[in-house]
Structure formats: C-alpha cells, structure tokens
Structure 1
Amino acid sequence: MDPFGTIFSGAARGLFMGNRGGRMHDPDTRTLKERRRWVSKAWICCETRFRDRAREVWGESYTELFFLDEVTALAAGHRPCFECRRRAAADFAHCFAIGNGHAETPPLAHIDKVLHAERIDPESPARREKKLYVAFIDTLPDGAVIAYDGAVRQAYAIRGGYVLPWSAEGWGRPIPRPRRQLVTLVTPPSTVMALKAGYRPVWHPSACTESFERGYGGSAAA
C-alpha cells in the first residue's frame, strides 16, 4: 500500500502489515471487490510476526495489507494495532490526545472516527479516494508525508532538513526541504498533531539523511 492508501500488487516487502477491519477481497480469485476499500473504521498497522501465528494471505479471513514502514501506514490513514503493537499504540494514543487538545486519552473508537473522517474524500467516486490537505511545509513535523504533482503524483516524507521520495522498495535520495511553501499534505491532520506531540514512527532503513547533513552527499543509516 502506498501513502495515498492505494492498494497494489508488487514484489517489494515492507516492515509492517495491517488491515481495515475485515475482508475486502474475493478469497477464490484473490482480487479486491469492486467497491469495498474498508470494512470498519479501525484501520491498523501491525507486526508481520506475532506469537508464531501463520496466515494464508488474502484467504478466507481479513485482507492483509503491507506497508514499507510506519510512516507510510500513518500517511495512508492507519494507526498502530493495540494487540501486536501495544506500546506503540499506547504512545500514539497519548500523543494523539496531547496534539489534538484532549484532556485525557480518548477511546480507540473516537480516534478511529476522527481518522476516518480525515482520510476519506466524501466527494470522490464511491468514497474511495484519499482526502488531501494544504499546509505550510515549515509547520510539518518529521514523519509527515506530502505530495507534489507532476506527470505522476509523488509522495515525500519530511525528515529533518530534507524530504525523501517514496517508492515501494524504499525512500529515495534526500532532497533539501523547501521553505515557506504551501504543500499538499497526505498524512491525516490529527496524526500530524500526534507527530508534533512526540510520536516517533518506525522508518524503513532506506530513510537515510545523516551523511547529507554532514555534507558528504553519500548514504548512511539515520
């Protein structure tokens, strides 16, 4: 799945899996149902290994989705799973509360309701398109994903003084982060506020910026 929430088939293998509350595919053909893109408002991001469980991907159960990393999953509108990623989920809920002005940590149902309203464009055909926003790039935290339109709309993640282009195989070569620009925001605004409040998502190892910050222009683990 890409940061826009688009489901596609590919050979790349990411760090996380997830689901949208149930089955969106035909288990016989292993293809997506024509109109269904979620089953419930609980869109989660999970570990790929948990308690030695073994699954038949896109079998009779829920539709497994896969993400390059947590930054990608958050941009697509997912949140950490409270079963297999309990500590991350608790941290996210805590930062969600702080960032969005809640006196106490809200219940998951509330978080899911807010996120669902922010991730689906109600005016898109069959309510299937990702809702996008406009923001000043200077106000966005690390881990927020933005987009630039060209021949193909390209997603970039903000990290320090750089933006990194997304691909299914990994984050590309860092580009100096523009300043004083309005940009298209892909990550849901309430998740952006959780990032601002201190939530630290898991990045794919390809998200390298250290050597660029040192001025070498090479590649190093960040």
Structure 2
Amino acid sequence: MMLQNRVNPLGEIIRTAARGAWMGNRGLLHNDRKEIVRPFRLLAWITCVLSFKDRKRTVMSPGLYTELFFMDEATAFAAGHRPCYECRREDYKRFKEYWLKGNSAYHFNDKTSINEIDAILHKERMGTGNSKVTFAADISELPDGTFVWFDERPFLIKGDWLYQWSPAGYGTGIAKPGKMEVVVLTPASTVNAFKAGYLPQTGV
C-alpha cells in the first residue's frame, strides 16, 4: 500500500511513489491502519536525516510518531518545518542563529527557547481550519530557497530562475520576473532566516 507520508510545499501530506531526501516529524498523526487522521500533534515540526546512528524504524508503527518525507530541505521549510536538534545539531544551531539574526524585531536573544520560535512558526504556517498561511511580497526581495505560488503551482526561487515543484523533482527553470507581487508559501520568519544567511538544501 502506498502510504500517505510525503509533504508538499503547502504542508499537505500526500501519497506518492517518489522517495524523499529528508524525514520529518510532527508527532503521531496516523491510526493503527496507517491512515493519517490529523495534520499535526506537536508544535515542533522538525526535519531529520534519513539515517542516524543505525536506528531502524518500521514506518507508521502503532503508537509512535509518523515518519514524514520531503523531496528536499527547501520543501520542508516551506511546509513549516525546521532542523532537528538531535540528528542535525549543526544545522539546528545555524538555523537558530540566522533565525534570530533575521527576526530581530522579536527582540529575542541566544537564550531564547526553540519553543518560542516554534510557536511563531506555527502561527505562520497553520491558520484557521488548518489552512496554509501565506503572505504577499515582491519576488525581487525574496531569497533563494523560498517557495512561491506562481501560475497556480508551487515554485522554488533559485538565482534568476523559478523551478516548478513536483513530488519527483523540479521542472525546467523559467526566468524569474524582475518585480512582481507573489504569494509566498515559506513562513515569513524562515524567509528572514534565509535572508540572514541560512541556505537550505534544494534538489535543483
């Protein structure tokens, strides 16, 4: 049975035969029949490596957290996830450092708990009725790694190009408009972290 365990840039959990490059966790989302019954259970939405300390898991085991998968790290960020502290310690530290630098308006500091950042990310990714939160911005002001909703589809920004997302990978790049207001899928504070210097891994 093809499991519903891949995540797209809108944060939706979908079924696809395509494999992912990263794993994620939002808590226990499935029932004993391996069916998704909720979009999240935790406010800490994390992105993990596929292999860590030779640990072996049976996907969607009863009573354990639901293993989610992403095509690349940029997709995970667009969905509202951030690096795991345990298996991605250095990426976690870099993300927190650049998040704090890029979001100085919150007046946080190095002692700020990641729980406070997770609470902000949750408000930026999940709205009323579990709908995707987006915002508008000029595409010329958005950094590489950001996802936008363009021509009714999700596109990744990289350099002077836009790449259409699919579960199996990206399409051929199209030229990025010089200036245009677009709907942004990546949470606002994560975009600010990218502007401050965090460069997410992409499949392009």
Return the TM-score normalized by structure 1: 0.85
CA deviations on 1:14-66 (whole Å, 9 max, x unpaired) are 2101011x211112x11111xx2111100000001000001110112101100
Q: In percent, how many aligned pairs have the same letter?
A: 42
Structure number having the greater strand percentage: 2
Residue 120 of structure 2 is aligned to residue 78 of structure 1: no
Gaps of 5+ in 1: 208-222
Find the residue that maps to 2:23 and give its secondary structure. Answer: strand
**Aligned-residue CA RMSD in angstroms?**
1.0
Aligned length: 194
Offset, 1:148: 2.0
Matched AA of 1:116: H
1:1-222 aligned at under 5 Å gives the runs 1-20=7-26, 22-27=27-32, 29-33=33-37, 36-60=38-62, 61-101=64-104, 102=107, 104-105=109-110, 106-122=112-128, 127-149=129-151, 153-204=152-203, 207=204
Q: How far, CA to CA, are the matches of 1:110 and 1:95 in structure 2? A: 15
State TM-score, norm by structure 2: 0.92
Q: Which consecutive aligned stretches of 4+ in structure 1 deviate over 6 angstroms post-superposition?
A: none
Q: How far is 1:202 from its partner?
A: 1.1
Larger radius of gyration between Structure 1 and Structure 2: 1
**Letter of the aligned partner of 1:168 in structure 2?**
P
Name structure 2 gaps, 5 residues minimum: 1-6
CA drift of 1:103 comes to 5.3
